[in-house]
Structures are given as C-alpha cells and as structure tokens.
Amino acid sequence: MTPDLTIVGAGLTGLTAAIEAAEQGRRVAVVEAHSRPGGRARTLDGPYRANTGPHAFYVDGAWWAWLERRGLTPPVVAAPRRPRLVRTGGRLTAWPDELGAAIAALPAEAPDAERFRAWLLRHVDAATAEAIIGVCFVFTFDHDPGRLAAGFVHQRLRRALAGGVRYVTGGWSTLVDLLAARAAALGVRTSTGTRLPAPPGGPAIIATGLATARRLTGDPSLAWTGARAATFDLGLRAGAPDPGWFRLTDLDDRIYVARYSLADPTLAPDGHELVQIAAACAPGERKRDAEQRVHRLLDEAWPGWRAAVEWRRGAVRTDCSGALDLPGTTWRDRPAVGRGDTLAVATDQSAAPGLLAEVGVAAAHLALQHIDGTSREPGSAREPAQPR
C-alpha cells in the first residue's frame, strides 16, 4: 500500500487522526518511535498498573461523543463514594462545603484578558481565592494557576466540578488498545519502533508533542506555555492502613493524591494499592524537594503509609500535560494546526478547543480538515473542529 497520508506519532492524537482519515477512505501509515502505541497515555504492565499520563476522562466532552459514535468508549468508573480530604490554611479538613458554594457562586464567564487571581479577588476574599487556585492545580498541573488567563482556568474549573470525570478501567491502555485495533481494522499500517528524524514527504500530520514537532520541523513558532509538575507513583502492599479518603488535595502546596486502585482494583494485585500523586513544581524546584513536600503531606494525612511501600517511581515532567493560556491569549492564539499545504501539526498545545487530551484530539480533526483543504482559513486551521 502506498500511503496518501502519514501520521507521525501513535498517541491519542495520532490514533484519532488515523481512524478518522481511514474512515474517509485515505490510505494511512502511522510511524511511532516507541515499541507500543499510546504515547503519554500508556499504562504500566504491572504488577502496579500505573497510568504514565492521563487519569481523568471527561465524559461530558466532544471526544467521548466521538468515541460513542464509533462504539469505542472504554469501560469507565466514577470516583468511589469516599471522603475527599483537603489541606487548606495549613489544616487537613474534609472538602469545605463553603468552598464549593463559593465556586458555584462565581460568574458564569470570566475574561481571557485578566489573570485568574485578579479576577477571583473581585468576587471572593483572598483566602478563598487562594483555595480555589489550589483546586485548579489538579487539572492545570501549574504551580500557580492564578497567573493564567481567567477565562481559561474558569472554564476548566466548571468542567472539572460538573461531575463528568471518570477513570478508564484497566488504565488508559484499555482505550489505546481499542483505538489501535480500530485503526488496524480500517487498514491503517502502523510501524512501531521507528523514530522519524524529519517530517515525511507528502501529506502528513505530526502528532508528537509540540516540542518534538518544533525539533522535527525546525519551526521555532511551535511553542506554547506548559506546566512543570512532579509525579510520584506508590505501590503499597496488602494490609496497608486505610486513611479513609480516596482523594487528597493540598490546596496550599498544590499536591494531588489519589488512591486509584480503590476506584479500579485491577490496577494493583489483590489487596494491594496503587497511589498516584502529582505535585506542582515551581521553576527550578528539584524532584527531591517536591518529593519531600509530598512525604510531609502523606505523613500528616496517612499514618503508616511509609512502612507499606513496596514499589515507587517518580519524575519531573515539563510541558507534558497540555496547553496553558496566559492572560490575553486563548486557544486560538496557540500554534496553528495547518503548517502549509500538506503538513499539519496536531498536539495538545495546538490551536484547538477542549481540555487536556481533548485538545490534541480536536487538533486531529482540524488537521484532517486542513489536509483535505477544507479549513476555513487558507494555510491555517483556526476554527473549532467539527468532528464527524
């Protein structure tokens, strides 16, 4: 088969583009550097099946609807009905109802031109503003969501609290496997273990991260703001003490801890626990210092956790969790998907709507429109994606 479209990268974005292009009758080749598809959305083989990137699937979004239309939705579970613990003002407490009420009472819209913190301070007192900013770390991964565009953060806050968050049973590899199998069934040819040094000739979609796309194309304009966060995964042996909560959010110190195997027991051996943690890293903060902050929090909120640890890993991740829009910018200002007549760059930091991984998927739809010559603005793809 001679492909008429090459897609570089078999993460969620590349696989989505491959399926949609093949459905449209294109002969698609996917080239993937890793030995397996999935990109950041892989799940470790075990015994602790940690997700290496995403956890939360927002089932109220356009991507879920796209999967539903194709019979590709993975099995999902909601968070278990367990208390949610927060640390705020230096004190551990149950999720404060007054914080939820303050968020609910915020105006329905927030401006893109203003910083989130400045906008909040016009509506709530300073302590409440900082607590809300702490909540927003969970889905921005930023050390200071208060510095970001109010419109950007506020829209995500509404989504995060709307009740649409689910966890993919068996980890996100379950979804990746479904997408890869559908792509193969549609005739998409995937070559794994092949790292391209430059964009391929002919019509192509680069669906790597934005930084890799910048290196591949040599185009310095492929750059956008992202977060820096440390992630720590813990495997706890059977019989670990139960602190009672499922989620723990440190609003002061921007740390999020979830005992994911309580929601999905397949993620850990029988009776064991998988705990995954994200901690904001200010510029220059070292992994060791972030880890010490996490350990101090766990010591306070989970007596006895240390003695139960039998597996751990951790890393600092830069620009890995999607786009962040600074004041005065929106998703429309990010690097355009269309990069010339036959090249598109579709990433989770591209000019496409949505939240977290949804951005890459929306960019995949735009990339195909661009390649098909149907994007509304010649040479770029700046209108919202209309997934089919």
Ligand X SMILES: Cc1cc2nc3c(=O)[nH]c(=O)nc-3n(C[C@H](O)[C@H](O)[C@H](O)COP(=O)(O)OP(=O)(O)OC[C@H]3O[C@@H](n4cnc5c(N)ncnc54)[C@H](O)[C@@H]3O)c2cc1C
Q: Per CB under 6 A, does 335 bind ligand X? A: no
Confirm if 150 and 114 have CB atoms less than 8 A apart: yes
Beta strand extents in the chain (DSSP E only): 5-8, 28-31, 56-58, 76-77, 84-88, 91-94, 165-168, 189-191, 204-206, 228-236, 247-250, 255-258, 273-280, 309-318, 343-345
Binding mask of the shown chain, residues 138 to 157, with x at each position contacting ligand X by CB under 6 A: --------------------
Confirm if 7 and 207 have CB atoms less than 8 A apart: yes
DSSP state of 224: -
Of the two residues 26 and 40, which places its CB atom closer to ligand X in the complex? 40
For residue 118, give the amino acid letter.
A
Alpha carbon distance 363, 361 (integer Å): 5
Of the two residues 327 and 360, which places its CB atom closer to ligand X in the complex? 360
Site for ligand X in 99-118 (CB under 6 A): none
Of the two residues 120 and 355, which places its CB atom closer to ligand X in the complex? 355
Alpha carbon distance 33, 12 (integer Å): 14
Of the two residues 163 and 241, which places its CB atom closer to ligand X in the complex? 163
Look at residues 140, 86, 92 and name the one whose alpha carbon lies nearest to residue 117.
Answer: 140
Confirm if 176 and 9 have CB atoms less than 8 A apart: no
Given 54, 226, 243, 353, the residue binding ligand X (CB under 6 A): 54
Q: Per CB under 6 A, does 11 bind ligand X? A: yes
Of the two residues 212 and 375, which places its CB atom closer to ligand X in the complex? 212
Q: Per CB under 6 A, does 336 bind ligand X? A: no
64-72, 88-96, 265-273, 352-360 -> range binding ligand X (CB under 6 A): 352-360
Of the two residues 13 and 88, which places its CB atom closer to ligand X in the complex? 13
Q: Per CB under 6 A, does 350 bind ligand X? A: no
Residues found near ligand X in the complex (CB under 6 A): 8-14, 31-34, 39-41, 53-56, 195-196, 207-209, 212, 216, 231, 278, 317, 320-322, 347-348, 356-357, 360
